[in-house]
Structure 1
Amino acid sequence: MSLRKYLTSKVFFRQIMIAFVIVAILAFVFFNMLSFITNHGQEITVPNLSKLSVEQAETKLENLELDYVLLDTLDYQEEFPKFSVVEQEPKTGSKVKANRKVYLKINAAGYAYVTLPDLIEKTYRQAEPTLKSIGLEVGTVTYKPYLGKDMVLEMKHKGVAVKPGSKIMKTSKIDLVLGDGKIAFDETEIDSLMQLQEFEDTHE
């Protein structure tokens, strides 16, 4: 059979049709496998893990075919239970693929301790922001006679005097005793002045 007759024969057209069918089947199988491998159209909504324990979060993520990584422990926050999830990435409601890792930051077990700075003979204007910068608060402010006005003379915590370098729990209140700007005389000095005045009066 000549080439021209073969190209116009039923056999040739039958083989062309078979080839198209095979290509179509292969293409269909390929794209379906690709969709399966990449989980095309199978997105998972990231759940809200806030305030859950690590164990609770793990169970919830495993049920959705998601994984997790503990990223960090944050400073203690009262509104969250100890060791519970405070932050997560991706955020709640995000769409992800199966086996995606969700990064978690959890709450600490309690407030950390900080070192009390040396505020003695510092002014109140210096002391207040210094305490706040390390997570402490100014409590009760009292005054006593001292030449330096508003100068820190003593620091107290829960009524007990504390020294610079002491370990104090964050958010604690530090009471300050300040100078009132007036010169203080002790009783001995007052008695001496009175005796001097009496002596001068008797010898006038």
Structure 2
Amino acid sequence: MTLGQYLTSKSFFKRLALAIVIVFAVVFLILQYLSFATDHGNEIVVPDLRKLTEEQVGDKLDELDLEYVLLDTVDYNQDFPKYSVVKQDPLPGAKVKEGRKIYIKVNSSGFGDVTVPDLVEKTLRQAEPTLKALGFEIGKKTYKPYLGKDMVLEMYSSGKKLRAGDKIKKSSVIDLVLGDGKVGFEESDSTKVENENETETENAE
């Protein structure tokens, strides 16, 4: 039998069909094994742990056969209870395998201290973004006579006068005393009056 005759014979097609069946069977068995080995279809949905205490996190994850690892505390966030979870990885809704570790970061107990910068004789335009960047809140703005308009003259927090280098809690409200820019004119009028008085005195003499 020649090669051409064999390739067109029933015997060849039977063997070819058998080989195809064997290949599909092997592929099917491999896929089934991989599905079993990776526990495919049995993923666990990661719950939302934010705002839970560490104890509550432990109880919740134990029920799901998951574990947690506390990475660190973060700067105090007033939108979250003290010592509660602020961040987690993987995020809520992610699908993971049994025994997966969930990494968490918890809120600190309160705002830390921040050093008050030297802003006296700085303009309001300079002072305001500096204070906000440090986490402070701008409170009342009052004015008093001073040549420089909107120049920072004094800073207060809870009625206490602040000086550069003082340490107060982040998120504290800082009240500003600013120059009204009018003292120059007042001084000019005052100087004019004094000059007139001196002239009158000289004339009288």
Please state which band the TM-score falls in when normalised by the shorter chain.
Answer: 0.7 to 0.9
**Aligned equivalents of 1:145 and 1:130: distance in 2?**
24
Report the counterpart of residue 49 of structure 2 in structure 1: 49
Aligned residues: 174
Q: Deviations over 1:58-101 (max 9, x none)?
A: 11112211111112322222221100011211111211101111
Q: Please state whether the residue corresponding to 2:142 is helix, strand or coil.
A: strand
Relative distance call for 1:195 and 1:158 in structure 2 (3 A) is farther
**Aligned equivalents of 2:60 and 2:32: distance in 1?**
29
**Aligned equivalents of 1:70 and 1:180: distance in 2?**
52
**Aligned equivalents of 1:92 and 1:103: distance in 2?**
12
Report the counterpart of residue 90 of structure 2 in structure 1: 90
Report the counterpart of residue 158 of structure 1 in structure 2: 158
Report the counterpart of residue 8 of structure 2 in structure 1: none
Q: CA deviation at 1:164?
A: 0.5
Give the aligned residue type for 2:142. Answer: T
Coordinate RMSD, CA, aligned:
2.9
Q: Deviations over 1:86-122 (max 9, x none)?
A: 1211111211101111111211111121111000110
Report the counterpart of residue 198 of structure 2 in structure 1: 196
Give the aligned residue type for 1:202. Answer: A
Q: Please state whether the residue corresponding to 2:127 is helix, strand or coil.
A: helix
Q: Deviations over 1:2-25 (max 9, x none)?
A: xxxxxxxxxxxxxxxxxxxxxx9x
**Aligned equivalents of 1:200 and 1:122: distance in 2?**
43
1:93-172 correspondence runs (5 A): 93-172=93-172
Name the TM-score, length of structure 1 as normaliser. 0.74
Q: Deviations over 1:97-152 (max 9, x none)?
A: 01111111211111121111000110010000000010012211111111111111
1:173-188 correspondence runs (5 A): 173-183=173-183
Report the counterpart of residue 7 of structure 2 in structure 1: none
Q: CA deviation at 1:48?
A: 1.6
**Aligned equivalents of 1:197 and 1:164: distance in 2?**
46
Moved more, 38-47 or 126-135: 38-47
**Aligned equivalents of 2:198 and 2:74: distance in 1?**
66
Q: CA deviation at 1:31?
A: 8.4
Q: CA deviation at 1:182?
A: 2.6
Give the aligned residue type for 1:99. Answer: G
Identity among equivalent positions (%) equals: 55
Q: CA deviation at 1:176?
A: 1.1
1:50-69 correspondence runs (5 A): 50-69=50-69
Flag structure 2 segments of 5+ consecutive residues without an equivalent: 1-24
Q: CA deviation at 1:196?
A: 3.4
